[in-house]
Structure 1
Amino acid sequence: MKRRDFIQLTGLGLGALTMPVPLFGQSVDPLQLLATGMEVAQKKQLADVALQAAKSNGATYADIRIGRYLNQYIYTRESQVQNIVNAESFGAGIRVIANGTWGFASTNDVTPEGIAKATNQALAIAKANSRLQKEPVQLVPAKGYGEVSWKTPIERNAFEVPVSEKVDLLLSANAAAIQNGAQFVNSALFFVNEQKYFASTDGSYIDQDIHRVWPTFTVTATDPATGKFKTRDALSSPMGMGYEYLTGNGAGKIAGPQGTELALYKNSYDIKEDAIAAAKQAKAKLKAKSVDPGKYTLVLEPNHLGLTIHESVGHPTELDRVLGYEANYAGTSFATLDKWQTKKFNYGSKQVTIFADKTQPGSLGAVGWDDEGVKTKRWDIIKDGVLVNYQAIRDQAKIIGETESHGCCYADSWSSVQFQRMPNVSLAPGKAKLNVNDMIKDVDRGIYIAGRGSYSIDQQRYNFQFGGQLFYEIKGGKIVGMLDDVAYQANTQEFWNSCSKICDESDYRMFGSFFDGKGQPSQISAVSHGSSTARFDGVNVINTARKI
């Protein structure tokens, strides 16, 4: 599966219907997802087998990850359940440095004998590869934390919720959409629990229990007279939370700008309310005015802007892309080291500060320690518009003069080797008090865009085009009606330098990507992007329905 396929699943999880169960693990009875995993003391004993074997056979560094990965995905269409997937994967991955070279091996035989055998395989691989290694691997120091633990602060474990309750929730949302004018509706719930144990020769023994949840749907409205159809995807976001995200109790509800009737949530989500709004808006899109191309002021809400951040800032500031290591897979980066070295490269306007943070509560990337045992933190990537840093792990940090890793190393499975992955990358909210209506009131010719849609971006993450779910025309400081066939085009530097205003903290919320792909062999990861509604002036808008 290609990287873009994974990204597009953020618009509709039902694409995962085509994924084989082995992608997630072995198919199991749902009760197995509630079974108690291996005791921490036993994991430590197994970890010591690997670490001692590695050190006694010439490794200068070694780490082991023992992982149990639980997945549940439920898919429905109209009044029917289409598929339910319950999957479990359990095993261990061992990574070593021997003769200055990395070696990695994994096993699903999680016994002392199996662990020892995999460790010896990792050592043999490292020593064989060392004949081709031009420079030895150099790790920046990492603190040993002893025996510690971290858990996603959930209120209700999604795996403890009966499947029947989850199915009822989806089918009720589907019915509500049909009752309000939709002809078709697909919906899905995704739940993930990663139970990960990490140990290293640096002296860390870290036990983590990570939870993620994602509700999503697509509704379709049709016009029988013309044969036209329009869709609207959910305005939910994947979150690092438990089932409480689906309570829809109004906590943190955000009002959309005047006239839009958007169901926007900050810390919880009402899938039924959003489905009702989606059905009405999909019908309205059938009669919406087709946009006139030209320059517009764009007012972009966070659910939409998160994908733009992901593609135009998140990926191009991954240090391995900057260095060319990812050239074969979705390209490299225009944000090269020479631009960073000047400390003057204007990535965006002075309003733009973009930070990385794997500690944000509720975010998909939130963990206590990364998959190298580095404690997670926050750091600036763009500060007041200037490119000031990248995303780097232990064997990269020295390249940019850092004395410690940024704590953004991750592997999607015990069987995958960990490598640099995007942390949560977010746009800092504006400092002055400003809401979305204040932002709109002085816009003469603009478009308010909500939700993420199709996109295209070049191999260096520079020239791009983004669509969306909903488009509202702004004239004379007011929203005057719905538009359709909207996409905007820019290059990354031009776009972020056009940012003139950002709403304050009260409007801040997160978008998420549940299936962000990278690497060869491909791995997926989950990452959030927070922002408040932001304004961009003089952006080129095209009409996607007109022939060129």
Structure 2
Amino acid sequence: MKRRDFVGLTSLAAGALFLPSFPSLAGEPVELARLLDPVMDAAINKRLADAALNAAKSAGASYADVRIGRYLNQALFTREKQVQNIANTESYGAGVRVIANGTWGFAATNNVSEAGLAKAAQLAVQIAKANAKAQKEPVKLAPQKGYGEVSWKAPIQQNAFEVPIAQKVDLLLAANAKAMENGASFVNSALFQVNEQKYFASTDGSYIDQDIHRIWPTFGITVVDRSTGKFRTRQALSASMGLGYEYLTPKAQDKIAGPAGSDVIGYKNSYDILEDAALAAKQTKQKLTAKSVTPGKYDLVLDPHHLGLTIHESVGHPLELDRVLGYEANFAGTSFATLDWKKQGKPYGSKLVNIVADKRQPGSLGAVGYDDEGVQTKEWDLIKDGKLVDYQKIRDQAHIVGQNESDGCCYAQSWQDVQFQRMPNVSLRPGAQKLSVDDMVKNVEKGIYIAGNGSFSIDQQRYNFQFGGQVFYAIENGKITGMLEDVAYQANTLEFWNSCAATCDQSDYRLVGFFNDGKGQPSQSSAVSHGSATTRFNGVNVINTARKI
């Protein structure tokens, strides 16, 4: 790596220290023009893929797939009135996965030529045969028809890479200015953009070309009371989305107000970063003088921007079949929701809890047409009327639970990583009956409204947990009465979801997303969204995070 590249990436990381969930920018630093090069040619990729598949079969593979990938990233970082860094990266190569002697083998190469891919395929077969000596049972794949030559493209309106950097920087600096005008002492902002160009081919007869886009605008604000040294922070209430730059063109119909008495604003399919930055500064100033919460039992009214993280940790991860089976145990792995537990028929939640997995949700981070082992994506129920009915699974897992098809949730973070089971979009269905947030609050005698996700902790089996947030408001006798601070709630997964008492209707439904969902060893990162409407949970234990025991 050249010194200027090292310095550039180091300052990039430093600029992200106070931003949530900083995404890694895998790949080599490149000039901006490289990000605007045409997408990969499908005809060329088919020829390259066939070279790998033929080489794998000739070497003794009973099955093979190849993924040719071009991964583009751009990140812009600002602080107050200045740009801290702009980074453009590209990663390009191919990974070949095979089954030989009933065992998986994998190899990757950045030599994207027929000879390079053929060599990688031969190496993958050698690795599989070596692994077979320790294999107890042969790999059993769920049947999968070949789709022939097909393609899928994210339905974006404006490619974020094509928007001039000056325009994007001006928007971030304008957001910083709005925050400073409204009382922020410090502000960092950033804009992350991703384009995954992926070509998949397999011996099943599929040749799949996909073009995937993601975007994430975010900021972090700090307000300091210089007379006391006390400070408070608030992060953006944006969502990372599977959209183009149109997400940053705010539309009035996409704004959803929180309950009366709070000044929270939620965003659906577009985001107003200027409005959110100004509001964040005002709210952060209010947090300096907000009443510290009294510990006890409260009814919680949880905004979608907050509830998404709770869904992710207490439903998304524990229902990954590899965790359930004990295959994923090193990186905060395993699950309480074992196959035996499911057979007992215990309720996961109240009858209002209906949670669905769906990698097709428009605008979601997980939206793709096909997963990374060539399975067409779909929607399926995980929890129905409070009962656990299914898990998330891929081709070599389906037979373990008596099923004959994959759910299409296999993913690798890049061409050089092997694909494995990853969380799809996991969402709580909105209520069927018309219910607004204000109507929900009217039925709360003693409660707390929470928006935004904050720090959290959850155990290895995804059972006992604690969650914070960004802003908190007291609810007394059906009305918001003021801001609170130092709030976190504690529960276990089953108690929490069984306390679900009401959920708003479709008009309040929104997505929240996470760019960096880590899993596996070596660790890989994936992007996933979670949808919900505002939801109430009764009688949840709330602690004061500022009190000493």
Q: Helix, strand or coil: the match of 1:488?
A: strand
Query: Which residue of the other structure, out of 220, 223, 227, is the alignment partner of 2:222?
Result: 220
- Structure 2 gap segments, 5+ residues each: 1-14
CA deviation vs aligned residue, 1:104-129 (integer Å, no higher than 9, x gap): 00000000110111001000000000
Q: Does the Cα contact within 8 Å between 2:508 and 2:534 map onto a contact in 1?
A: yes
**2:509 aligned residue:** 508
Q: 1:34 to 1:41 in 2, by over 3 A?
A: same
Q: CA deviation at 1:12?
A: 6.1
Matches within 5 A, 1:20-169: 23-169=25-171
Q: CA deviation at 1:11?
A: 11
Amino acid at match of 1:163: I
Q: CA deviation at 1:402?
A: 1.3
**2:376 aligned residue:** 375
Amino acid at match of 1:514: F
CA distance in structure 2 between the aligned counterparts of 1:395 and 1:161, rounded to whole angstroms? 42
Matches within 5 A, 1:178-257: 178-257=180-259
CA distance in structure 2 between the aligned counterparts of 1:345 and 1:363, rounded to whole angstroms? 31
Q: CA deviation at 1:31?
A: 1.1
Q: 1:499 to 1:12 in 2, by over 3 A?
A: farther
Q: Helix, strand or coil: the match of 2:333?
A: coil
**1:483 aligned residue:** 484
CA distance in structure 2 between the aligned counterparts of 1:411 and 1:13, rounded to whole angstroms? 25
Say whether residues 1:319 and 2:321 are aligned partners. yes
**1:389 aligned residue:** 390
CA distance in structure 2 between the aligned counterparts of 1:401 and 1:193, rounded to whole angstroms? 37
Q: Helix, strand or coil: the match of 2:55?
A: helix
Q: CA deviation at 1:301?
A: 0.5
CA deviation vs aligned residue, 1:127-177 (integer Å, no higher than 9, x gap): 000010000000000121000000000000000001111100000000010
CA deviation vs aligned residue, 1:410-460 (integer Å, no higher than 9, x gap): 001000000000000000101110010000001110000000000000011
Q: Does the Cα contact within 8 Å between 2:16 and 2:77 map onto a contact in 1?
A: no
Q: CA deviation at 1:341?
A: 2.4
CA distance in structure 2 between the aligned counterparts of 1:375 and 1:151, rounded to whole angstroms? 14
**1:3 aligned residue:** none
Amino acid at match of 1:401: G
**2:419 aligned residue:** 418
Matches within 5 A, 1:359-374: 359-374=360-375
**1:522 aligned residue:** 523
Q: 1:389 to 1:140 in 2, by over 3 A?
A: same
Amino acid at match of 1:327: A
Matches within 5 A, 1:450-465: 450-465=451-466
Amino acid at match of 2:412: A
Q: CA deviation at 1:547?
A: 0.2
Q: Helix, strand or coil: the match of 1:71?
A: strand
Amino acid at match of 1:377: K
CA distance in structure 2 between the aligned counterparts of 1:74 and 1:394, rounded to whole angstroms? 38
**2:6 aligned residue:** none
Q: Does the Cα contact within 8 Å between 2:21 and 2:515 map onto a contact in 1?
A: no
Q: CA deviation at 1:262?
A: 1.7
Q: CA deviation at 1:225?
A: 1.4
**2:428 aligned residue:** 427
Q: CA deviation at 1:53?
A: 1.1
Amino acid at match of 2:524: Q
Q: Does the Cα contact within 8 Å between 2:250 and 2:270 map onto a contact in 1?
A: yes
Q: Does the Cα contact within 8 Å between 2:355 and 2:381 map onto a contact in 1?
A: yes
Matches within 5 A, 1:257-276: 257-276=259-278
Matches within 5 A, 1:436-447: 436-447=437-448
Q: 1:514 to 1:161 in 2, by over 3 A?
A: same
CA distance in structure 2 between the aligned counterparts of 1:198 and 1:444, rounded to whole angstroms? 55
CA deviation vs aligned residue, 1:323-366 (integer Å, no higher than 9, x gap): 11111111210001112223x22110000011100000000000
Amino acid at match of 1:372: E
Amino acid at match of 1:16: F
CA distance in structure 1 between the aligned counterparts of 2:18 and 2:387, rounded to whole angstroms? 35
Q: Does the Cα contact within 8 Å between 1:263 and 1:273 map onto a contact in 2?
A: no
Q: 1:287 to 1:188 in 2, by over 3 A?
A: same
Q: CA deviation at 1:222?
A: 1.0
Q: Helix, strand or coil: the match of 1:398?
A: helix
**1:16 aligned residue:** 22
Q: Does the Cα contact within 8 Å between 1:69 and 1:89 map onto a contact in 2?
A: yes
Structure 1 length as normaliser, TM-score?
0.96
Amino acid at match of 1:251: Q
195-204 vs 252-261, which moves further: 252-261
CA distance in structure 2 between the aligned counterparts of 1:176 and 1:423, rounded to whole angstroms? 36
Amino acid at match of 1:187: S
Q: CA deviation at 1:15?
A: 6.2
**1:296 aligned residue:** 298
Q: Helix, strand or coil: the match of 1:168?
A: helix
CA distance in structure 2 between the aligned counterparts of 1:298 and 1:39, rounded to whole angstroms? 51
CA distance in structure 2 between the aligned counterparts of 1:32 and 1:366, rounded to whole angstroms? 25
CA distance in structure 2 between the aligned counterparts of 1:249 and 1:10, rounded to whole angstroms? 28
Q: Does the Cα contact within 8 Å between 1:11 and 1:453 map onto a contact in 2?
A: no
CA distance in structure 2 between the aligned counterparts of 1:135 and 1:13, rounded to whole angstroms? 45
Q: Does the Cα contact within 8 Å between 1:251 and 1:267 map onto a contact in 2?
A: no
RMSD of equivalent CA atoms = 1.3
CA distance in structure 2 between the aligned counterparts of 1:320 and 1:78, rounded to whole angstroms? 44
**1:494 aligned residue:** 495
